[in-house]
Structure 1
Amino acid sequence: MKILIVGPSWVGDMVMSQSLYKRLLELHPNVLIDVLAPAWCKPILERMPEVNQAIEMPLGHGQFSLSQRWMLGKSLRDNHYDHAYILPNSAKSALIPLFAKVPKRTGWKGEMRYGLLNDLRPNRKIFQFMVERYVALAHSKSTMLSEVTIDDIPNPALNVDNENQLACLQRFNISPDLPIVGLCPGAEFGPAKRWPEQHYAYIAKQLITEGHQVCLFGGPKDKSVTEKIVKALSEHQKSMCFDLAGETSLVDAVDLLAACHTVFSNDSGLMHVAAAVNANIVAIYGSSSPMYTPPLSQKVRVVDTDINCRPCFKRECPLGHLKCLNELMPAKVLDAYRDLNRNQNLE
C-alpha cells in the first residue's frame, strides 16, 4: 500500500502530523508513506522514520499556479498511490492528488473541496486538538470518534543525529559537560504569541547564575529579539549564553534542542520540535491555547494568564495591551520549571 500525504506548511504542524504517520503504520505495517511538503519542512520529515520519501512542494504558501500543480500531479502518477490524505483545508491543496489520479482522497471539509476529495470528513471541530484531527483521518468516518482521543495518540518523536549534535556543540563552543537550557523567544505567527524579551532575559540571568548554559534558538527574523536578551546580561553571563538565532539549519536546531534538558518556548514550531526530541518543555502561551496545539509530550508545564480576553488567536493584540504576555511574570514561569524538573528527578 502506498500513501501520499499533502503536509502542512508550518514546522509545528508538520511535527504534529507525525502522529498520523505513526497511526497509519500501526494500522498498515507495510505501508509506504510519502509526504509532499514545502522545502523548509523537508529536514523535519527526514528525521521521521515513518516517512519513506519527502517530496518538495515547488509552490510557496498561498501560491495557486494551476499549471504547476497539474505538472506535479502528473509526475506523481507513476508512483501509483493507493490513498492520499490532504491535511491543509484549502481547495488548491487537494488538486495535486486529484491530478496524480490517487483513487482515494481523504480530508476534512474545507473551501470548495467537493469532488476533489472522495472521502470527505464533514466537521473537523468535533475534535478539540489539531493532532486529533490529523490522526482521525487514518480511521474510517464511522469509527474515528471512538478510535481517536488525545490520550492514546502516539506522540511525535524525531530522530537525533548524535554526531551532528556534538559537531554543533563544538562549532558554537558549547560545553557538553555543563547543563544546557534552551530559550525559544520568537514566534513566526506574530507578536501576540511572543513573551517579552525582558522576561526571557530574567530567566537567562537566573539559570546562568545557577550554573547552566543558555542557548537562544530562532530564525533570522528572531535575531533582534535574541540580541536584546544578550544585551541585558552581564559580561560573565554573556560568556554562558549562546545566541543561535539565524545561525543554525533546522536539523542543527533539532539536534541542539535535544541537547537541552529543558526548553522554555512560546507556542511555536520550535516548541513542537523540542517536545519531539524529548526535552522538558515550559510552554508559554499568550493569544493561543494549549487546548488546541499543546506540546505533545508528558514532560510539559504550561504557563499562561487567566485574563478574560485570551485566547483570542490573533497575530497582534486587538486591545493593544498584550496583558496576557506582559503580566505573565518570570517568577511564575520559573516555578513551573522547578516543579517540572523536580518531578523528573523523582522519576
Structure 2
Amino acid sequence: MRPILVFCLPAIGDFIRCHAAIQIIAERFPGQSIDVVTSRLAAPLARLMPHVRKVWVAEKHWKPGLKERARLARELRKENYQAAYMLTSSTKASLVPWLARIPERIGYPREFQFGMVNRLPAGWLKSMVAFGSRKTRLAEQVCAIARRGERPAEDGPLPAPQLVVSPEELAGWRQRNGIDAARPVIALYTSDFANKRSWPMERFVSIARDHAARGWSVWLVGGPRERQAAAEIRAHLPEAIDFTSTPDIAEAMCQIAASTVFLGVDGGISHAAGALGGPCVLIYGSNRAYLHGPVNAQVIFLEPPISTPGWVENTRAVSEDRVREALATAIRKHAPQFA
C-alpha cells in the first residue's frame, strides 16, 4: 500500500492539534504508513505521535524558497505517496506536493490554490466564507479535511491529540537528572509575564509556595520566552527548578510527563501537556479556551467570570482560590495518592 503524507501546521500547539486529523486518517486507512511535514521546531514531537512513521521538515519562512521546496518535492517523489492532506492553507506548502506529483492533494483552497489542491472537501465554500461565531475551530477544520468534509456517523467529540513518552524513556530521563519518582511535582508554564495571556507572577509564586510547603517539587517549564519569568519566580522561591533552558523540546515532553500536575496558560506547551494525558489546569482569557485550547478531556479550563466585561483577554480575573480548587480536583481525580 502506498503511504500517505500529511502537511501539518508549523507552530507547536497547532502541530499537536493536527494529530486529531492523523488519527482519523489512520482509522480510514488501517495499515497504511502516514508521514508528516512540519517545521523544524515541531518536528521532534512527531516521534511521540502514534501512527506517524516519518517526519519531513519544511521551514516556514523560506524566501523566496522555490529552490528549497523543489528539493523537498524531489525527495517526496521518491516515496510514491498516494495522497497528501493539506492541513495548512499556505500556497507555498501546497506547491510542494504539486511539484512532487502526488496524485491526490486534499484541502481547502484558502489562498485560492486551485489545481495545486485537486480534492476539495464537501462544504469547502461554506467553510471558507464563514466568519465570527460561524467559523469553525482549527481542530474542527483539520478533522474536516481528514474526513474530506464528511460528518462522522455520530457527532461525537473530536479525537484527542496524543503524545506518548515511553516508560523506558521517562525512567532514563529521571535517572539522568536525579529525579525522585516518589516526590510529587507541579509543573508551571507561565509564558512571558508581559504577555496578556499570562497570569500574574505573584499568583504563580503563591501557588508554588503552597505546594513546596507540602513537600512538592516545583518545576518551571518552557523555552526562551519563559526564562525571564522563571528567574523572577526563583527570586521569590529559590528551590524551584528552572527547566526553561532545555535545548530539546522532546526533553521538555519528559519534564511534563514526569510531573504530577501541570498548571499553565495559553500556549503550545499547554497543548503538549494536554496531549501527554496528565492532569492539567489551564488559565485562559474570556471566550478563548473553546477556540484555542486543547480538546483533551482531562484538561480543566479556567476563564474570567462571565460577569466581567466581554472579550477580556488578560487572565487577572481568575482568582488564586479557583486555581487551587481546580488543582485539587485534578489531583484528586488523576493522582489521588498525592491529594
Could you state the TM-score of these two structures normalised by the residue count of structure 2?
A: 0.88
Identify the range of structure 1 (245-254 vs 118-127) with the bigger mean alpha-carbon deviation: 118-127
Q: Indicate how the Cα distance of structure 1 residues 167 and 184 shifts in structure 2: closer, same or farther if over 3 A, else same.
A: same
User: How far apart in 1 are the matches of 2:157 and 2:257?
Assistant: 24
Deviations 1:43-68 (A, max 9, x none): 100111311110122x3346441222
Identify the range of structure 1 (85-94 vs 70-79) with the bigger mean alpha-carbon deviation: 70-79
Is the aligned partner of 1:286 residue 2:288?
no
Paired position in structure 2 for 1:128: 136
User: How far apart in 1 are the matches of 2:246 and 2:195?
Assistant: 22
Paired position in structure 2 for 1:321: none
User: How far apart in 2 are the matches of 1:98 and 1:76?
Assistant: 11
Deviations 1:300-344 (A, max 9, x none): 2111113334266xxxxxxxxxxx322322222112112233344
Code of the aligned partner of 1:328: V
Q: CA deviation at 1:248?
A: 4.7
Code of the aligned partner of 1:84: A
Deviations 1:106-149 (A, max 9, x none): 112312322221123331656633222111112233xx235585
Paired position in structure 1 for 2:270: 271
Map 1:199-210; keep pairs closer than 5 Å. 199-210=203-214
User: How far apart in 1 are the matches of 2:13 and 2:181?
Assistant: 27
Q: CA deviation at 1:295?
A: 2.0
Paired position in structure 2 for 1:23: 24
Map 1:34-73; keep pairs closer than 5 Å. 34-57=35-58, 59-61=59-61, 63-73=63-73
Q: Indicate how the Cα distance of structure 1 residues 62 and 205 shifts in structure 2: closer, same or farther if over 3 A, else same.
A: farther
Task: Decide which of 135, 140, 161 is 2:148's aligned counterpart.
Answer: 140
Q: CA deviation at 1:187?
A: 6.0
User: How far apart in 1 are the matches of 2:320 and 2:24?
Assistant: 38
Paired position in structure 1 for 2:188: 183
SS in structure 1 at match of 2:182: coil
Deviations 1:150-173 (A, max 9, x none): x43321221213333234334444
Paired position in structure 2 for 1:100: 100
**Conserved in 1, the CA contact under 8 Å of 2:62 and 2:68?**
no
Paired position in structure 1 for 2:215: 211
Map 1:170-319; keep pairs closer than 5 Å. 170-186=175-191, 191-233=195-237, 238-239=238-239, 241-286=240-285, 289-305=288-304, 306=306, 307-310=308-311
Code of the aligned partner of 1:139: R
Deviations 1:205-259 (A, max 9, x none): 11111221111101022110111011112xxxx33x2110022521111122111
SS in structure 2 at match of 1:105: strand
User: How far apart in 1 are the matches of 2:183 and 2:277?
Assistant: 18
Give the CA RMSD over aligned residues: 2.4
| Number of equivalent positions | 326
Q: CA deviation at 1:294?
A: 2.4
**Conserved in 2, the CA contact under 8 Å of 1:127 and 1:133?**
no
Identity %: 24
**Conserved in 2, the CA contact under 8 Å of 1:21 and 1:50?**
yes
Identify the range of structure 1 (270-279 vs 107-116) with the bigger mean alpha-carbon deviation: 107-116
Code of the aligned partner of 1:22: Q
**Conserved in 2, the CA contact under 8 Å of 1:183 and 1:216?**
yes
Code of the aligned partner of 1:206: D
**Conserved in 2, the CA contact under 8 Å of 1:282 and 1:301?**
yes
